[in-house]
Structure 1
């Protein structure tokens, strides 16, 4: 997958740690269809960067979405409250 840097690095401007990807690339990272990704964007669950008519996704936002969507399974303690 080819990521796009937010700006070209120069000696006075090092390369950023955030990268941008296309809708197709973002959908592939999340293992979703582009339509499913668009639905999440419309629902406000995943932010986008608008560059003119083009939409791009920050990889950090995709990682945050994955982290927020991760279910935590907690085993009940024996004799614990129900």
Structure 2
């Protein structure tokens, strides 16, 4: 699932805030395409999660689903010392 540049900017309030959150300049954000690729989407979502920003509802659902699947007991056994 990909997001638009406008959705990404809306999460952070401005292009400058988005740039600061992911470590690039506002000018670099302005050069992004209208539809972000997977790497850019991942950067935005990762920064939003790290900074406690609200994401679009569809992403909140995906995050909750991934947390449920990550909470399942592991079948991996620890090595004895």
Q: Give the TM-score taking structure 2 as reference length.
A: 0.34
Which of the pair has more CA radius of gyration?
A: 1
Larger RCO (CA under 8 A, 6+ residues apart): 2
Q: Give the TM-score taking structure 1 as reference length.
A: 0.33
Q: Name the structure with the higher strand share.
A: 1
Q: Name the structure with the higher helix share.
A: 2
